[in-house]
Amino acid sequence: SPDGEVLALKQVKLDGEGPDEDGQLLTAVKNEIELMQSFKAKGLCNYIIKLVDAEVKLEDQLVYMVMECGEIDLAGMLRRHWQEARERNENAVYNENFVCMYCEQMLRAVHAMHEARVIHGDLKPLNVMKVRETWKLIDLDAAATIGSAAGLKSSTGYAPPELLITEERGGRTTARVRR
């Protein structure tokens, strides 16, 4: 950046003959850009990764997004903390202060999104990024405004309760992810 800040570049390929022939990926990425611009305008970049600029180049089937650069995701941080504890021959247990600090920052981020009437849609440790001592939510392509159609994707093993459909059959209640 002009001020010497290191930024990240996210490039999304919109392969018209491949995974996005129905335009869902383009729709998800445009939604992500709009949400990030909205969060920036509302001053919520303390909790959600800040978008600096974005460009959709349909002729090249590419989308570019310039945003804050993260240092490590939460999954990597937890893995590193666990490995360091094991190398010191300590019982590999997370420090209570460590857990409380990260949980509080994540909950503040999720609360800020919910206050803006948005559900993340793919909340998992890989989508929580450390940016200068603060944990922020990233990867909003599955996000949806409350009351609108659900996001277009979620990760295996991670789905927000808002996407669950419950069904009663033969006296049993089952839940499945709405697609």
Q: Which residues are catalytic?
A: 122
Q: Are strands 134-137 and 144-145 parallel, antiparallel or unpaired?
A: unpaired
Distance CA 51, CA 32 (A): 10
Counts of helices then strands in the chain (DSSP H, E): 3, 10
Report the distance separating Cα 88 and Cα 103, nearest Å.
25
CB atoms within 10 A of CB 58: 10
Q: Is 37 helix (H, G, I), strand (E, B) or coil?
A: helix
Determine the residue type at 139. D
